[in-house]
Amino acid sequence: MRLFVAIPIPENLTTRFSSFASGVRGARWVRPEGMHITLFFVGEADREHAADLDVELSQISMPTFDLRCDRFDYFERGNKIKSI
């Protein structure tokens, strides 16, 4: 499985993204509850390593923070946008 470290996007923003998504022809979007901001791509791992990583990450405590975005970018594969 492919692993990454991410933070969820607040509901008020997933609602805005979802309304934007309905106007983009041909796009396949994840469900709002699956939307996130990837902080780090870990790579391929088996279930055992994924469980170990989950335990380690769950022990990290971080204060809340504000995040402001002034633009979005994307990743392409071929001529198709894969991630925003």
- SS3 labels along 1-68: CEEEEEEECCHHHHHHHHHHHCCCCCCCCCCHHHCEEEEEEEEECCHHHHHHHHHHHHCCCCCCCCCC
Torsion over CA: 74, 77, 78, 79 (sign) = negative
38 beta partners: 6
pLDDT at 16 over 90: no
Q: What is the pLDDT of residues 48-82, one digit of tens each?
A: 999 999 999 999 998 988 888 777 777 777 877 77
